Structure 1
Amino acid sequence: MLHPYAEIPELSDLQVGGPLVRIPMQLDVPFTPRVRAIVDTVEFQRLRHITQLGLADRVYPGATHTRFEHALGVFHNALRYLWQLGKDPRFSQVVDTHQAEVLMVAALLHDLGHWPFCHPIEDMGLAELPPHEAFAAEFLGPGSELAAALEQHWNIRADEVLDVLTPKTDSPALRLMRSILSGPIDIDKMDYLERDSLHAGVPYGRNFDRSRLIQSLLVNEAGDGLAISAKGKTAAELMVFARYVMFSEVYWHHAVRSATCMFARSFYELHRQLDLQSLFRLTEYDVIRELQRQAVGTPVAPLLEGLFGAKRRLHKRVIEFTADQSPELYRALAGRPYAETVEVGLQLLSALERLTGRTLAATDVLIDAPPVHKEVEFRVEIYDPKARVYRPLGQVSPVVDALARTQFDDFVKRVRVFAEPDLARILKDRYDEFVRELEAAACST
């Protein structure tokens, strides 16, 4: 029986070979003329100049891979998902060939609107920030090279792609397409876990069977999202654990968070004097240069120098704790608006000046706390063909159930206080007094 998407050139090339581009690890990404037409546009090429993990390379030197590489990896996953799901009549009857191609393009363009250091900047929730979805719409706007490439080579309108990336309408097909792009077992996570792990030089994000998981994909009971068959249970468990460990050991590694915290505070102090619409169109290198220029003579200049100057100098960790270690203090600091966290830090700074008898700079002490928004929870159904029933994976997996019973963010995303290195040594020697002052500042603000 002919595969329902067999006429899509990229899916055909995935099976029999054809023009390709190779990306780590040894992935052959179909690179047909119409894929090249998208990739060669000025709007897509800007992703070459935006790193995937921002400041993580201050700790993991190899983590300099770009959103350009990641986008190609997500596109490759989209092809593999579509080939597998096309074997499920419930999927192919809802998602036609044109919609499958729209999903492929959306996968390739899913990070189109991101700017340099997008995640730490967005985590602050500043009112002045333009949403990165608006940037995506602009880069796909009338007259753009990218929109023209879609019309000419794919017969796809820009608004069709944007509707997948930023929902405006609803249909069973769109819900299925969006669950592939953004859901518990989506093509984005499938790529970034492995790719970030590879470039960081750690094994954690690669310790799950991607092929087995993809081979187990099917449509969920409601017909509006993905599920997995019982044969993919172990692979799904390992993916859940891989994500947990990558957050714990890489994304929220204490030194990565120190660098992120220093950058966030610098941006927060400078953002009102910046033309954000222009800044976010720059390359990562040029954003750094502009921030350093604007910071001259300000309290955040030493922070940016420590991050991007000739000598790496990060603030040191004084204290860290999760929700189960210090529940009251954690609740007092986690999930607060960024401006309030800054105010708590300034209150703490004043108390520490009295405690140490030293005059401290406004950025000598920084509080890093989980942002307001939470991570997507791992909720996916598993289909038992013998019993012909769908059940939540957490009900049949002790691993997933254990992680579900403890809020992912509360355990992995710790509250930390960082201080200028010399001050950090002093505060560690006066730890009990420091904790009392932190508690007082958290409760009074």
Structure 2
Amino acid sequence: MSDCNSVSVPEVHLMDRGPSRLRIPPAMDVPVTARVQRLIDTSPMRRLASISQLGLVSMVYPGAMHSRLEHSLGVYTWALRVLNQVGQQSPVEQGSANQIAEDMRASESFIVASLVHDAGHWPFCHPIEDMGQSGMPRHEERVEAMLRSGPLADALAADWSCTADDVMAIVCPKKIDQYPAATSSEHIAFYASCLSGPIDVDKLDYLQRDSLHAGVPYGRNFDPMRIIASLVRHPDRPKLAIHEKGRTAAEMMVFGRYVMFSEVYWHHTVRAATAMLQRAVHELQQSAGGEKADITEWMDLSESAWVRQFVDAADRRGGPVKSLADGLFGPTRKLLKRAAQFNVESGEDMHQMLARRPYWWLASCSQPLATSIGDAIGKPVEPELVLIDAPPVKLEVDINIDIVLRSGEVATLGDVSPVASVLANRQFDNHVKRVRVFVPEWVRDRLADLPGDSMRRWLTDAVAETEKQWA
């Protein structure tokens, strides 16, 4: 597989010397050619400016209000740096016109994919996708529709040598069979690993950017330029690897990601808000009094407009759904409180019992759990306000990037790093994503007077009853 000569790609060539550039935090210059500007100016990309990158995280970290557009521009900039690095390792042989054209097409596909990979996002997309609701398109499917029809498709056809199949095969490499018109599968596999893998341009951007805006240091305590300088093509497979000289930077990035999940993305208050949003969305999609909200109709809205639709639908539904929506977006924040939590250290049996269950199953399980809690405290508790928050079905991407040793041999990061080994072998998700039960504050206060193992017994009984119900 021959490589793209990076200086042939205008965006890479102008990376450090272009006259037109955007400035985004933290002091990052984004090189913008005319064709990139035309992509940014399309309505799907402009809409990303009205959608926050971290959604409900701002309820705990008020500064975390940066947009999906800012993140997309950052990913695009890191993609150019990756192209510049890997393109210098094996220049294209002169005289192979077809190969040069194929390499250029693959590189352009990667540039476009890095810029538009989040174009299909809607407000609070990730927590709603984690619910696995039937009939709910994933954001990648929406990206594909945009690349085949509409302003993004027009800009792609007018300015770029790549096709929608090329771009989507990088965005969704597991579905490459659905994109038969894509260029060389080796090119696709390599650039797909640059966009989504143990170390990729997406994580290089969001870890630092989210950490910056949240006002915490955890996602910035690694050396991104050292990682870029250490990137290499895997000697045996079409995927990204890292030279041994970048091992320490890679270790720090992996650990930074671990801490960001633990302290920011899965902070217990962030998860309380997330669980409230998910349960309200779940209830709004159930028929009640003849009205059932179709939230797929809200996907093209700005975040503020989406919240208005959500609150209005919850007001019409009333009851606990209105209470959840008001607690999230009303004039006074009123979140449910943590009544119990379990991870693989503090409660492995409970974690295994509830992690990666379908969302509808967890919602069903809250009914018998609410009954047990109500009996214990002597007052009924609405099951819609007893929320079981657990790691979703989908696991996080593997952290075990391949390391090319100075000897030329290849090992995984876990083979050469004790820090990465622990995280890789003991499953990243099970440590940072806890099982939690959230209840109204008055319920939490009454539970404080009961034996400490009460919630464990009630959950065990609720799981058994739910399994029997859906057997």
Shared topology, TM-score over 0.5? yes
Give the partner amino acid of 2:201: I
Cα deviation, 1:138-172, whole Å, max 9, x if unaligned, reads 22223x11111122122433332222222324611
Give the Cα–Cα distance (whole angstroms) in 1 for the partners of residues 252 and 202 of structure 2: 16
Determine if the alignment matches structure 1 residue 281 to structure 2 residue 300. yes
Equivalent residue in structure 2 for 1:197, among 191, 205, 211: 211
Deviations along 1:2-27, whole A, 9 cap, x unmatched?
A: x9221322111113232100000000
Measured in 1, the distance between the counterparts of 2:320 and 2:235 equals 56
Alignment match, 1:42:
43
Q: Which residue of 2 aligns with 1:58?
A: 59
Extract unaligned runs of 5+ from structure 2: 94-98, 178-183, 287-291, 467-471
Residues in 2 aligned to 1:434 and 1:38: alpha-carbon distance in whole angstroms: 52
**1:359 and 2:377 are equivalent in the alignment:** no
CA distance in 2, matches of 1:276, 1:417: 26
Pairing of 1:210-229 with structure 2 (within 5 A): 210-229=224-243
Q: How does 1:424-439 map to 2 (within 5 A)?
A: 424-430=444-450, 431-439=452-460
Distance verdict in 2 for CA 1:276–1:313, change over 3 Å: closer
The SS at the match of 2:326 is helix
In the TM superposition, residue 320 of structure 1 has moved relative to its aligned partner by 0.8
Tell me the TM-score normalized by structure 2. 0.90
**Counterpart of 1:443?**
464
User: Post-superposition shift, 1:378?
Assistant: 1.0
Counterpart residue number, 2:312: 293
Match of 1:373 among 390, 394, 397: 394
Give, as a single letter, the amino acid of the residue that structure 2 aligns with 1:8: V
Taking the aligned partners of 2:31 and 2:298, their CA distance within structure 1 comes to: 34
2:180 corresponds in structure 1 to none
TM-superposed CA distance for 1:223, in Å, is 2.8
* Counterparts of 2:465 and 2:90, CA distance in 1: 59
Decide which of 428, 451, 458 is 1:408's aligned counterpart. 428
Provide the C-alpha distance between the structure 2 equivalents of 1:10 and 1:236, rounded to a whole number of angstroms. Answer: 27
The CA distance in 2 between the partners of 1:397 and 1:157, in whole Å, is 40
**Aligned in 2, Cα 1:91/1:75: closer, same or farther, shift over 3 Å?**
farther
Q: Distance in 1 between matches of 2:16 and 2:307?
A: 43
Counterpart contact for 1:116–1:287, Cα < 8 Å: yes
CA contact (8 A) 2:6 2:88 kept: no
Q: Residues 406 and 111 of structure 1: is their aligned pair in 2 closer, same or farther, counting only changes over 3 Å?
A: same
Deviant stretches of 4+, over 4 Å: 90-95
The one-character-per-residue Cα deviations of 1:56-84 (angstroms, maximum 9, x if unpaired) are 00000011111100000000000000000
**Equivalent in the alignment of 2:438:** 418
Which residue of 2 is the match for residue 174 of structure 1? 188
Which segment is superposed worse, 415-424 or 132-141?
Answer: 132-141
- 1:147 paired residue number: 153
- Is 1:244 paired with 2:258? yes
Aligned to 1:346: 367
Paired residues, number: 441
Equivalent position SS for 1:228: strand
Deviation at 1:240, TM superposition (A): 0.5
**Could you tell me how far 1:39 is from its partner in structure 2?**
0.4
Give the TM-score taking structure 1 as reference length. 0.95
Alpha-carbon contact 2:5-2:91 (below 8 Å) kept: no
Q: How far apart in 1 are the matches of 2:211 and 2:155? A: 33
- Structure 1 unaligned residues grouped into runs of 5+: none
Q: Secondary structure at the match of 1:62?
A: coil
In structure 2, what is the Cα distance between the partners aligned to 1:67 and 1:91?
A: 35
User: 1:85, 1:91 within 8 Å by CA — same for their partners in 2?
Assistant: no
d(CA) in 1 for partners of 2:344 and 2:293? 36
User: Deviations for 1:78-112, whole angstroms, at most 9, x for unmatched residues?
Assistant: 00000000122289989712211111011000101
Which runs of structure 2 are paired with 1:26-105 in the superposition (5 Å)?
A: 26-89=27-90, 96-105=103-112
Structure 1 contact 227–382 (Cα < 8 Å) conserved: yes
**Which range moves more in the overlay, 257-266 or 41-50?**
41-50
Rounded to whole Å, the distance in 2 between the matches of 1:157 and 1:396 is: 40
8 Å Cα contact 1:91/1:219 also seen in 2: no
Q: CA separation in 1, counterparts of 2:236 and 2:408?
A: 14
- Match of residue 163, structure 1, among 161, 166, 169: 169
SS at match of 1:21: strand
Q: Which residue of 2 aligns with 1:113?
A: 120
2:243–2:404 Cα contact (<8 Å) kept: yes
Do 1:244 and 1:412's aligned partners in 2 also have CA atoms closer than 8 Å? yes
